[in-house]
Amino acid sequence: MRFDVLTLFPEIFAGYLGQGLLKRAIERQLIDVYVHDIREWSTDARHKKVDDRPFGGGPGMVLMAEPVVASVEAARAQQADPGHLVMLTPQGRRFDQRVVEELAANERILLLCGRYEGFDERVRLILRPDEISIGDFVLNGGEVAAMAVIDAVIRLVPQVLGDEQSSGDDSFSGPRRWLEFAQYTRPREYRGLEVPPILLSGDHGAIARWREQDALRRTNLRRPDLIDGRQAETEGGERQETERDSQ
Ligand code: 6GU
């Protein structure tokens, strides 16, 4: 699977690409990530300007349509497959595990990162991107969001996760899309808190039932909206789960 990131800040990606699961996936040639500098497509040879003041006035700067459209078209032309174009913007549809699964079906994804007050509207009108937001808050640019998209999508690319790992039990995954069950490792007792005995029983059927029950209990408590669209109780006064009452 190939990702093309289009950004004004290509340096931001080096650390992220050079580490962990993603680094290994790139080395194993399961994933390719190309980072493109939108500034290289500036129409202004001297100052490499890519933004300008908004028509109608107001604060901030707007990314100009020409360099952005040119950079996307140039990246697309590098391969026969034009890829699926994603624009990272707080005005996009909300990113969740369903969107991750949808995106993972593509062989090639282009991630267009904005900065400043946003893109000239004609970028959207011309390129018709799949606009995605990672949540209802404002970031300074799409770069962190693009990394979140890559990070989530590669987990679903075959062979990226080792045999011992699997995305099937992940929160928001599987047929029910609940939160994941609680996990424990050694030691069996820590500061008076014991690992639930079932997990030490070796009875795989019983363990699977306990985990299913725990996933449901946690989801009910923390994210009831995942079960039946109920609003999560976030106002004051409701019960908070603690180590003690989860025992
Ligand atoms: Cl994708 N971009 C920006 N700038 N802010 C965001 C976002 C994206 N998603 C949530 N907030």
The full set of domain ranges for the chain reads 2-154, 175-246
pLDDT band of residue 216 (cuts 50, 70, 90) is very high
The closest of 59, 119, 53 to 89, measured between CA atoms, is 119
- The catalytic position among 67, 120, 129, 155 is 155
Pairing of β 2-7 and β 32-37: parallel
Query: Does the beta carbon of 141 sit less than 6 angstroms from any atom of ligand 1?
Result: yes
**Most ligand 1 atoms within 8 A of CB, residue of 86, 103, 134, 144 to mutate:** 134
* pLDDT of 234: 52
Percent of the chain residues past pLDDT 70, beyond the cut: 93
The closest of 226, 102, 83 to 156, measured between CA atoms, is 102
pLDDT tens for each residue of 54-113: 999 999 999 999 999 999 999 999 999 999 999 999 999 999 999 999 999 999 999 999
Which backbone phi and psi does 2 adopt, to 5 degrees?
A: -115, 130
This prediction has a pTM of 0.91
- The catalytic position among 117, 130, 131, 180 is 117
Query: Does the beta carbon of 7 sit less than 6 angstroms from any atom of ligand 1?
Result: no
Taking CA atoms, 201 is separated from 109, 196, 208, 241, in Å, by: 45, 9, 12, 26
Q: Would you call 90 a catalytic residue per the annotation?
A: yes
Ligand 1 geometric centre to CA of 143 (Å): 9
* CATH number of this structure's domain 2-154, picked from the four choices 3.30.230.80, 3.40.1280.10, 2.60.120.10, 3.40.50.20: 3.40.1280.10
Q: Which CATH superfamily, name and number, covers 175-246?
A: tRNA(m1g37)methyltransferase, domain 2 (1.10.1270.20)
- With 0-12 / 13-18 / 19 or more C-beta atoms within 10 angstroms meaning exposed / middle / buried, residue 152 is buried
